């Protein structure tokens, strides 16, 4: 995204590169994910994406592998993912680059594998309903994903089967 809500505080960098304790937020996220055993990344980059690519390059500095899927015009989330399809494994984590959630990635991945779902969405309970993506849950399954108020929001961490992109 264009980071419009952060624009007054973070100028000339994409929101994922906002400085946090002297380093870009995305760097903190990458280091945390590496500690969780994730070592291969595909960054979907658009607006000011060259800043991300210039900083991380191929990822060797952090002991990971990074490939890039570049947008030539805004594709939104689904379009960016479809654009990156040729770089993705058959089953992969989809993680928002501007949020950090404490998630048991191994447990989430194993749950996904057992469920035979096309996508597993990590959700978080929200104290007090507020405007966000509204998740309608029935027996632990998301049955609707709408705009509105809800007690639950997606946590920005998903496990996705590449078949979903067909």
pLDDT digits (tens, 9 = 90+) for 31-61: 999 999 999 999 999 989 999 999 999 999 9
Residue 13 clears pLDDT 70, i.e. is over it: yes
Q: Which two tokens stand for residue 51?
A: 């800043």
Give CA–CA dist 135/56, Å, rounded.
34
Residue 1 clears pLDDT 60, i.e. is over it: no
Give CA–CA dist 74/43, Å, rounded.
15
For residues 141 and 35, which has the higher predicted lDDT (pLDDT)?
35
Percent of the chain with pLDDT over 90: 58
Question: pLDDT tens digit string along 80-103?
Answer: 999 999 999 999 999 998 887 888
pTM, two decimals, is 0.83
Identify the pLDDT of residue 125.
Answer: 75
Tokens 């998903």, residue located? 158
The residues that bridge with 161 in the sheet, in sequence order, are: 91
Residue 2 clears pLDDT 50, i.e. is over it: no
């Amino acid at each position: 995204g264009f980071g419009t809500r952060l624009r007054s505080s973070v100028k000339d960098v994409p929101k994922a590169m906002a400085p946090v304790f002297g380093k870009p937020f995305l760097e903190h996220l990458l280091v945390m994910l590496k500690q969780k055993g994730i070592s291969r990344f595909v960054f979907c980059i658009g607006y000011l994406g060259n800043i991300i690519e210039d900083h991380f390059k191929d990822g060797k500095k952090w002991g990971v592998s990074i490939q890039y899927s570049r947008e030539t015009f805004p594709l939104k989330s689904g379009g960016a993912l479809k654009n990156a399809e040729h770089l993705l494994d058959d089953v992969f984590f989809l993680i928002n680059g501007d949020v950090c959630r404490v998630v048991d990635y191994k447990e989430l991945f194993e749950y996904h594998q057992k469920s035979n779902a096309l996508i597993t969405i990590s959700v978080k309970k929200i104290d007090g309903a507020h405007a966000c993506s509204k998740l309608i849950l029935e027996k632990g399954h998301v049955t609707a994903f709408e705009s509105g108020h809800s007690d639950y929001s997606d946590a920005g961490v998903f496990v996705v089967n590449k078949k979903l992109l067909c």
